[in-house]
Chains A and B, each alone.
Chain A
Amino acid sequence: MLNYWDCITFATSVISFFAFFTYLLVYLENRKKVFKDPPMPKKLPKVSILVPAYNEEKTIEKTLKSLLKLNYPKHLLEIIAINDGSTDNTLRIMKKFEKYGVKVIDKPNGGKASALNAGLKVAKGDIIVCMDADSIVSKNALKYTLGYFNDPKVGAVASSLKVHKPKTFWQKMQFVEYIYNIFLRKVLALMDSVFVVPGPFGLYRREVLEKLGGWEEGNLTEDMELTMRIQKAGYKIETSLNSIVYTKTPETFKKLIRQRVRWYRGFLINARKYREMFFNPKFGNLGVYTLPLYIIFITILFISIASTIYSFFTIARDFLLINLKAGVELPELNLNNIDPPYLFMSVSTIFWLANIVIYAYIFYISMQMSKERNFLKGFLTYFVQIIFYPFVLAYSWFLSIWKEVRGAKIKWER
């Protein structure tokens, strides 16, 4: 008979199939043009790149070097490195780049948003680029992204983020996640519902930033907050698949959880701040689909992880107790010569398999979109990822909600 596990499976599958088909249909309708970025404007705009840094001595040099290599006329490019009161060598490394024309601002520590605002004050560009000091940009990034601003409705453009040299297990897991997000961000941009322009190489129209008042200081995820503000003001947000940025990601489980708790608490805070946008048809797909789906996705994640853990423990407990009682030295699996193995598949198993297959397909499209060619390695990582990663995400969400409910003090960590 149908038990609670089947009901959860059915509900979860229906929502996940629906999300899958929506994304797939949006992608299919636009698949001929997803890679086509609009050409750069005839009159090239002046671009200011803001690089806020707090204790980034390990990565800032590579970041600045990659920015200097950008394929763009030097007289139209302004790089502003902002030292946000670092206690390490960040400032000294920044100063080394002054001779290449990098402007350096040194200010007391005040958070990333305050550093960005300080940079915005002195920046002369028509386009303002936010560039995290732990990322490396590909040299044609500006060439691919600037064209989107030809449309006066566009307020911001996001780049495609990839994990920089994934080495550890957790970085490899994030590699898959970032690839998947490249697809997702493109599809969301096609649906006008991007709600985060990530920190590494996010472009903004200066006018829009000034009109909306720059970055909100003290916000845990100032990038999401600004994106939501831009969306609320009615501007479009685009993303380019060709503009690729490599970013350094947490190497260890502990660091990963810390980063995620900051992101997700930031999401919760900003979701609350912009709660009137949820289910609000005035904000189009973002209001009626993307934002609500995100909340539903978190709920599903919790329910399915909780029931997986619950059934795992009950099954394991019963198995052990019963076998101990029966006095079996080695617990034996009761696989009594299953003739046709498919006969032992229940309807829930079919739905879980279907889910794995459709998301493998999405991952395949994502690999194509992010121009990753090593499909074998990609898929092996994907299959490991779908086993481990949901637990990590659920744990991070749980911690975030817990801390938010308890009102734990906010600490800005990478």
Chain B
Amino acid sequence: MERGKGSEDKMGKISTRIYLKAALLTFLVFIAGVAIGWYLDESRVSFVKSRIDELEISFSNLALEEEFYRSVATDTKTLCNIYISKTNELALQAGKLGSYLESFREISKFGLHNIESLKNRYFILNLQLWMYIRKLREECNYTATTILFFYTSINKCEDCIAQGIVLNQLKKKDPEKYMIFAIDADSKLGIVGTLKTYFNVTKVPTLIINEKQKLEGFVSRQELEELTK
């Protein structure tokens, strides 16, 4: 038998062609996976973007309507009621959008800068709403409690997440009473810097209640309810 010879034929046989094909297919699948991931990131961005667009339009519309009524009517009482309910609705939607933004920011891997710029638009919208509510409070005898919530999303801040949950619970319990505006303390926006300086915010989480009271560190639900009675 020629075993020795046969063995030499067999040794060293490497399926190079198969490996190359497999490598190519692996590459294609990998690219496809990344492309799907990228597509999902883009879908998230456009999802949030369309929501922000809608909110911005609703808000501009509200402001315009108000201006118009103000120029023709005198009965501010009924007007106030309309504005308050519309503002409540807007604040509710803005709150939902905020939680979308935060969870998308964690999931998104590729289009992060888009999410960041959307976040800026969102903050500006949110603060416009806050200013508007302050105005309503002065003119319409509006009694809602406004809470500015400064948090951070860069460093892992367990207190901020816990505070967020507490504020969500408050909002859920009494959506008309609590107007909560979450602000990323690390935002580069000028208005955020201004607010931080004005209220002297140095740590997170910090809560500003009705623009008067400053609470630093985590505040439990009971304490908050007590303070805002």
A contacts, CB < 8 Å to B: 1-2, 6, 10, 13-14, 17-18, 21-22, 25-26, 29, 152-153, 191-192, 233-236, 281-285, 288-289, 318, 321-323, 325-328, 334, 336-337, 339-340, 342-347, 350-351, 354
Per-residue A-contact encoding for B1-32, CB less than 8 Å = 1, 0 else: 11100111111111100110111011001100
What is the chain A residue whose CB lies nearest that of B110? A347
Instruction: Collect the chain A residues with CB atoms within 8 Å of residue B166's CB.
Output: 326-327
What is the chain A residue whose CB lies nearest that of B158? A322
Instruction: Collect the chain B residues with CB atoms within 8 Å of residue A285's CB.
Output: 13-15
B residues contacting the other copy or chain, number (CB 8 A): 54
Instruction: Collect the chain B residues with CB atoms within 8 Å of residue A350's CB.
Output: 33, 36-37, 40
Can you report 20 A-B residue pairs in the complex whose CB atoms are below 8 A from each other? A17-B30, A21-B25, A22-B19, A22-B22, A153-B7, A282-B12, A322-B162, A327-B166, A327-B222, A328-B165, A328-B169, A336-B96, A340-B43, A340-B47, A342-B43, A345-B40, A346-B109, A347-B38, A347-B41, A354-B33
Asked whether B191 is an interface residue with its Cβ less than 8 Å from the other chain, the reply is no
Given contacts A153-B10, A321-B158, A327-B220, contact A13 B40 (CB under 8 A): no
B contacts, CB < 8 Å to A: 1-3, 6-15, 18-19, 21-23, 25-26, 29-30, 33-34, 36-38, 40-41, 43-44, 47, 96, 99-100, 103-104, 107-110, 112, 158-159, 161-163, 165-166, 169, 218, 220-222
Pick the contact of B29: A345, A346, A354 (CB < 8 A). A354
Whether B3 lies near A343 (C-beta < 8 A) is: no
Given contacts A284-B11, A322-B161, A323-B165, contact A1 B22 (CB under 8 A): no
Whether A18 lies near B23 (C-beta < 8 A) is: yes
Most chain A C-beta atoms within 10 Å of own C-beta, residue among B1, B2, B25, B112: B25
Give 8 A-B pairs besides A10-B30, A29-B18 with Cβ atoms closer than 8 angstroms. Answer: A17-B30, A236-B10, A323-B165, A326-B162, A326-B166, A328-B165, A336-B96, A347-B40
Interface of B is mostly: helix
Whether B18 lies near A22 (C-beta < 8 A) is: yes
Whether B7 lies near A325 (C-beta < 8 A) is: no
Whether B109 lies near A2 (C-beta < 8 A) is: yes
Instruction: Collect the chain B residues with CB atoms within 8 Å of residue A289's CB.
Output: 14-15, 19
Whether B44 lies near A343 (C-beta < 8 A) is: yes
Whether B30 lies near A233 (C-beta < 8 A) is: no
Report the Cα distance A322→B99, complex, angstroms. 17
Whether A345 lies near B12 (C-beta < 8 A) is: no
Instruction: Collect the chain A residues with CB atoms within 8 Å of residue B96's CB.
Output: 336-337
Whether A284 lies near B10 (C-beta < 8 A) is: yes
Pick the contact of A192: B10, B21, B36, B218 (CB < 8 A). B10
Whether A283 lies near B15 (C-beta < 8 A) is: no
Whether B21 lies near A21 (C-beta < 8 A) is: yes
Report the Cα distance A236→B165, complex, angstroms. 65
Report the Cα distance A325→B217, complex, angstroms. 12
Report the Cα distance A326→B205, complex, angstroms. 13
Smallest beta-carbon distance A356→chain B, Å: 13
Given contacts A25-B21, A322-B162, contact A344 B37 (CB under 8 A): no
Whether B21 lies near A191 (C-beta < 8 A) is: no
Smallest beta-carbon distance B106→chain A, Å: 8
Instruction: Collect the chain A residues with CB atoms within 8 Å of residue B7's CB.
Output: 153, 233-235
